[in-house]
Chains A and B, each alone.
Chain A
Amino acid sequence: MKYQLIFKLSKALLLARVKQTSVAAIGVTFSIMMFIALLSFMTGLNDLLDGLVVNRTPHVRLYNELKPALTQPVDKLKLKSYHFIHSVKPKASKTELYNVASISTELSRDPRVLGISPRITTPIFYNIGNTNLSGVINGLDVVKESELFSFSDYVVEGKELDLKNVPNSIILGKGVAEKMLVTVGDVISITTPNGEQFSLKVVGFFQSGLLDLDKVQSYASVSTTQKLIGASNDYITDLQVKLKNILLAPALAKEYAKRFELDAIDIQTANSQFETGSSVRTIISYAVGITLLIVAGFGIYNILNMMIYEKMDSIAIMKATGFSGRDVRYVFITIALSIGLVGGLLGLLFGYGLSALIDQIPFNTMALPTIKTYPINYSFKFYLIGAIFSVITTYLAGYFPSRKASRIDPVVIIRGK
């Protein structure tokens, strides 16, 4: 009953100044719309860039690093005096992983692991006539690699499965292929670190989006790579683990390093710069969005203040006829909140519309073969934050003017006439 009356009064005051209140509401609409569009676009872009790395990078990589032993023989003597042994070099050990089969079965039993994929990395030279181009061949299991690390998304020409089906085949990096002037189906020759020459059939091109990488890297099957370097068929240099929960990676990397006596690196450590980049971009988008909202809040504040000056007489007579200061405050807060709610709701709708529009704009780049339009993240989270913020800012924008209105002394106004 009482709220009904307050709504009635608020509505009348709102409608008495339809133009100004609509301008205030449009301010809120615009800011919420931009907030939604900006964040959707920015996080969409972030996700895309992160995806470039995160989707293709193992969450935990197990390998053997070439490095000097942690404890040198001389340390074991526990000498109390100073020793002069220096310039210690690492042992000529191989980067091969031992017991790959048992480690693999162990890992695949781990409930936290989504999948594992083996790799061999070896440096090679691409022979182009008389010129040799240094490069790297990654030996991989194309089926698992596609399943876990979206390998197939980046094969721009040819079929990735040919890597498995055609013996002695290779998928060349796009940059390498351009330098070598080859097309799919050609045969190229490479030189291995041991000095042997091999002929490999090109079955596809790979474009990662990182140009420097594509000028160096090529891909072959595990068995082809083992043949290239003359290793046995259990020779593996890397085990790539994809986890169910990426956040566990640092902890699991430590655990596996200890358990299997290997080196292990997690994705967060290996790519910390990406994490920083995306969080900074997100913070900037939030800051801009919230600034827009606050500016809209000032608009509401101004319009309410003006309305209070204009309606001074009405407020005075309301108070004289028995409305308390609190009733008057509720009336103005109701006005502010209805501006915020209507403006905010429209803002959410228009924000969605604008995001959908951006989603249609063509975005073709050499670096990102799978992307055709600008990326948008339609997360419900932004809509929720936008809605909450529009209500909070309009409430605050209404709170101060309404407090002023509630303190108007009717005697002063009525005597002044």
Chain B
Amino acid sequence: MHDKILEAIAISKYFQDPVSVQVLKDVSFDLYKGEFVSVIGKSGCGKSTLLYVLSTMDTDFTGDLLIDGVSTKGFSEANLAKIRNEKIGFVFQFHYLLNEFSVLDNVMLPGLKLGKFSNAEVKERAYEKLKILGIEKEALKKANQLSGGQKQRVAIARALINDPLIIMGDEPTGNLDKKNSEIVFEIFENLAKDHKQSLLIVTHDNDFAERTHRIIEMEDGRVIKS
């Protein structure tokens, strides 16, 4: 039951510009399957930086990162991209949808990239995910025709398309009003409860964090409570 899906081992990171500053100091923690975890801390404490390291997009760090029991050290850029594609889903503060495409296409793209399913299957799965998020009616609209809350839900559907090991969120409710924040939180909660989806959400909203399974609190690049 308690499968370790992500393991951070003594991760340290420095910003070199303009002077060398250590932003992450020996961060170590584990994440287990089905956990809904939030990372909180004051602005500038390094929580976003940590998320980018954990997401494999930022490879400039010391220590080790194990995803699904495999160390990502020394992986090529293309291999890391593959890991992100297959095992990690992202939700950012800003939705980052491609305006050239329809909502459905936006959700389908990472699935098409994975190439595990046929086009028709990916389409069916995308509809399924949109249905979970209650926006299947908007599937054929262009991304820029949706409201902010709807866009963020499309972004969550996109994160779900490849049934990732974990969904990472960087302030996913940061740009949303109270009502939409609530909707997004409920979606996350349901995903964790009904679909046993692991989630790692960076937030500065303490109310949001309080309601998650586990809180990782950071201060000055260190984990002070996990």
Residues of B25-77 contacting chain A, CB below 8 A: 48, 52, 55, 57-58, 77
Shortest CB-to-CB span from B23 to chain A, Å, is 12
With known contacts A321-B85, A326-B78, A414-B170, A1–B158 Cβ distance under 8 A:
no
Query: Is B94 on the interface with A (CB-CB < 8 A)?
Result: yes
Q: How far is the CB of B20 from chain A (nearest CB, A)?
A: 19
A16-B100, A410-B57, A415-B48 given as contacts; is B114 within 8 A of A322 (CB)? yes
Question: Which residue of B52, B101, B158 contacts A415 across the interface (Cβ within 8 Å)?
Answer: B52
Chain B residue nearest to A5 in the complex (CB): B112
B81 is an interface residue with CB less than 8 A from chain A: yes
A320 within 8 A of B: yes
Does chain B have a CB within 8 A of A319? yes
On chain B, the residues within 8 Å of A2 by CB distance are 113, 115
**Least Cβ–Cβ distance between B81 and chain A, in angstroms:** 4
Q: Is the CB of B77 within 8 A of A15?
A: no
Question: Would B96 and A316 count as touching, CB distance under 8 A?
Answer: yes
Could you tell me the distance between the alpha carbons of A16 and B98 in the complex, rounded to whole angstroms? 11
Q: Evaluate whether A323 and B115 lie within 8 angstroms (CB atoms) in the complex, with A415-B48, A415-B52, A417-B93 already known.
A: no
CB pair B58 A411 closer than 8 Å: yes
CB distance from A175 to the nearest CB of B (A): 72
Taking the closest CB of chain B, its distance from the CB of A164, in whole angstroms, is 79
**Partner of A321 from B93, B94, B101, B113 at Cβ < 8 Å:** B113
Q: Say which residue of B48, B81, B98 sits within 8 Å of A322 (CB atoms).
A: B81
Our pick among A16, A322, A417 for the contact of B113 (Cβ within 8 Å) is A322
Interface size, chain A (Cβ < 8 Å): 29
CB of B158 within 8 A of CB of A325, answer no
Contact across chains for B110 and A322 when beta carbons are under 8 A apart: yes
A8 to B102, CA, bound (A): 12
Q: How far, in Å, is A315 (CB) from chain B's closest CB? A: 10
Complex contacts, A5 vs chain B, CB 8 Å: 109, 112-113
Q: Which of A1, A12, A324, A414 contacts B96 (CB 8 A)?
A: A414
Q: Could you tell me if A12 and B100 are in contact, using CB atoms closer than 8 angstroms?
A: yes
Complex-state Cα separation, A316 to B99, whole angstroms: 14
A324 to B83, CA, bound (A): 10
Contact digits for A1-32, partner B, Cβ 8 Å, 1 yes 0 no: 11001001100110110000000000000000
Q: Is B92 an interface residue (CB 8 A)?
A: yes
Q: How far is the CA of A313 from the CA of B114 in the complex (A)?
A: 21
Q: When A321-B90, A322-B81, A411-B57 are in contact, do A327 and B113 touch as well, CB less than 8 Å?
A: yes
- A242-261 to B contact mask, C-beta < 8 Å, 1/0: 00000000000000000000
Count of chain B residues near A, Cβ 8 A: 31
Contact string against A for B residues 84-97, beta-carbon threshold 8 Å, 1 for contact and 0 otherwise: 11100010111011
- A-B contacts counted at CB < 8 A amount to 80
| A411 to B80 CA separation, bound complex (whole angstroms) | 14
Contact A317 B96 (CB under 8 A): yes
Inter-chain contacts of A12 with B (CB < 8 A) = 98, 100-101
Known A12-B98, A314-B98, A414-B96; judge A320-B82 contact (CB<8 A): no
Q: Which residues of B contact A8 (CB under 8 A)?
A: 112
The answer to whether B113 touches A320, judged by C-beta atoms less than 8 angstroms apart, is: no
Q: Which residues of B contact A323 (CB under 8 A)?
A: 81, 85, 113
A317 to B96, CA, bound (A): 6
- Encoded as 1 (CB less than 8 Å from any A CB) or 0, chain B from 127 to 164 comes to 00000000000000000000000000000001000100
Closest CB-CB distance, B120 to chain A, in whole Å? 12
Interchain CB contact under 8 A, B82 and A324: yes
Q: B110 contacts which chain A residues (CB < 8 A)? A: 321-322
| Least Cβ–Cβ distance between B85 and chain A, in angstroms | 2
Contact B84 A320 (CB under 8 A): yes
Contact with B along A399-412 (1 / 0, CB 8 A): 00000000001110
Q: Which of B58, B100, B115, B158 contacts A13 (CB 8 A)?
A: B100
Residue of B at shortest CB range from A319?
A: B81
B96 and A313 contact, CB distance less than 8 A: yes
Q: How far is the CB of B41 from chain A (nearest CB, A)?
A: 16
Across the two chains, which residue of chain B brings its CB closest to A415? B48
Considering the complex, give the chain A residue whose CB is closest to the CB of B60. A411
Check if B57 sits within 8 Å of A325, measured CB to CB. no
Would you list which residues of chain A between 321 and 335 have a CB under 8 Å from chain B? 321-327
Query: What residues of A have a CB within 8 angstroms of the CB of B84 in the complex?
Result: 320-322
Task: Name the B residues within 8 Å of A320 (CB-CB).
Answer: 55, 57, 84, 90, 92, 96
Within 8 Å CB of A324, what residues of B?
Answer: 77-78, 81-82
Nearest opposing residue in chain B for A13, CB measure = B100
Cβ contacts under 8 Å, A327 to chain B: 81, 113
A1 close to B98 (CB less than 8 A): no
A59, chain B: closest CB distance, angstroms: 62
**Most B C-beta atoms less than 10 A away, residue of A314, A317, A318, A321:** A321
Residues of A within 8 A of B98 (CB): 12, 314, 317-318
Selected A-B contacts with CB under 8 Å, 20 pairs: A2-B113, A5-B113, A12-B100, A16-B99, A318-B98, A320-B84, A320-B90, A321-B90, A321-B110, A322-B81, A322-B85, A322-B110, A324-B78, A324-B81, A327-B113, A411-B52, A414-B92, A414-B94, A414-B96, A415-B52
What are the nearest 10 A-B pairs in CB distance?
A322-B85, A324-B81, A317-B96, A12-B100, A324-B78, A321-B110, A16-B100, A322-B84, A417-B94, A5-B112
Extra contacts, 4 of them, besides A1-B115, A2-B115, A324-B77 (Cβ < 8 A), are: A5-B112, A322-B85, A324-B81, A325-B78
